[in-house]
Structure 1
Amino acid sequence: MDISIEDERWVDVDFEALSSKAITGALLHQGIDADECDLSVLACDDARIADLNAEFRGKPTPTNVLSWPAEDLAADSPGAVPAKPEPDFTGEIVLGDIAIAWETCVREAKEQGKSMHDHVTHLIVHGLLHLLGYDHIRDADATSMERLEVEILGKLGIDDPYNVEHAP
């Protein structure tokens, strides 16, 4: 796991430990050994993620998290489980890249009445699930992905981020 911190504000939330715990927990939940995986996480600011969003998605605005899967593992049928990633010829499971933006995460955590730690953990898990072929474009896929996020976050000691009763 390669973690790059471009914006030093991420150091204040111990981003390396937080992202490592989120990724390891999510992979373990999926029956995948984190030590066999190759992925990178970029902790940046809104300006950098806006550039990335413009370059790769044609949307020149900041967003909370972006993911670039190394391969398309998505299921063909709505709500179905994606294909499990397989090791390459070196024995590594190459998953892809995730980027997360400081200002957007801070703003969203505040707006949603969540701790920065819990919100960022959720977004890292969300980004990792995209690398594993999950998506939320089709309703059945969104339901499946959200259910999985809640299960993983629960194992990490984090409340259901979709529970609107706890929202401000």
Structure 2
Amino acid sequence: MQSLDMIEEDPRWADLDLEALCPRVISTTLAHLSLEASVAEVTVLACDDAHIATLNADFRDKPTPTNVLSWPAEERGAAQDGEIPLPVTPGFDKMLELGDIAISYDTCHAEAEAAGKPMVDHVTHLIVHGVLHLLGYDHERDGDAALMERLEVEILGKLGLDDPYRHDAAQPPA
């Protein structure tokens, strides 16, 4: 990855080595969509439930914690349900400014435990999910949700992980 800004606010994240995990997951996600990771810019905030609840309240008017939030640099959502989002285009500096992701340790940990899966596997899924949101994928409409879920399963397969929707008892990502 060209530019990954990592902000680890919660020391519990240190055990997962997000500095190594995030570039691998983001690069695999982008490569799956034929995008060049070497020119991508992403910021990841690794926080706790208190901070993500504040962000969720401020940006989505939902004052509760969630597992992952994303802020795309540009709106790229598809006009029609189930269509591929608008393409990512480089800026004047030839960089792909994708946006920001926040992920909460508390919620991720609780979901991973409830699903009986390793925390690193669940976090990997949520990073893929967050990056897809940065690229304009969403799950508000049925067709969009089916497309996003299919991509997540394919990308996670490339990362050596099982289909989280078939085996994951935890609540799906927000």
TM-score by length of 1: 0.96
Q: Which one-letter code corresponds to 2:14 in the other structure? A: V
Alignment of 1:61 onto 2:64:
yes
1:61-98 deviation digits (Å, cap 9, x = unpaired): 10000000011111111111111100011111111100
Partner AA of 1:19 in structure 2:
C
Work out the CA distance in 2 between the residues paired with 1:62 and 1:167. 18
Say which of 118, 131, 136 aligns to 2:134: 131
Q: How does 1:41-60 map to 2 (within 5 A)?
A: 41-60=44-63
Deviation at 1:26, TM superposition (A): 0.2
Runs of 4+, deviation exceeding 2 Å: none
CA–CA distance in structure 2, aligned partners of residues 45 and 107 of structure 1: 12
Please tell me the residue identity of whatever aligns with 2:154: E
Distance, in Å, in 2 between the alignment partners of 1:97 and 1:49 is 13
Q: 1:36 aligns with which of 39, 50, 54?
A: 39
Q: Any idea what the Cα deviations from partners look like across 1:35-55, whole Å, max 9, x if unmatched?
A: 101110000011110111111
Which one of the candidate residues 71, 79, 88 is aligned to 1:85?
88
Identity of aligned residues (%): 59
Indicate yes or no: 2:117 matched with 1:117: no
Q: Structure 1: 5+ residue runs without aligned partners? A: none
Once the two structures are TM-superposed, the CA of residue 167 in structure 1 deviates from its matched residue by 4.8
Does the residue aligned with 1:120 lie in a helix, a strand or coil?
helix
Secondary structure (helix, strand or coil) at the match of 2:98 reads strand
Aligned equivalent of 1:147, options 147, 150, 173? 150
Give 1:26's aligned residue: 29
Q: Counterpart amino acid of 1:14?
A: D
The gaps in structure 2 that reach 5 residues or longer are none
Letter of the 1:42 counterpart: L
- Which of 68, 71, 76 is residue 73 of structure 1 equivalent to? 76
Q: What is residue 162 of structure 1 aligned with on the other side? A: 165
Deviation string, structure 1 residues 124-149 (Cα, Å, up to 9, x no partner) = 00000000000000011000000000
Q: For residue 100 of structure 1, what is the aligned residue in structure 2?
A: 103
Instruction: State the one-letter code of the partner of 1:32.
Output: L
Q: CA RMSD in A?
A: 1.2
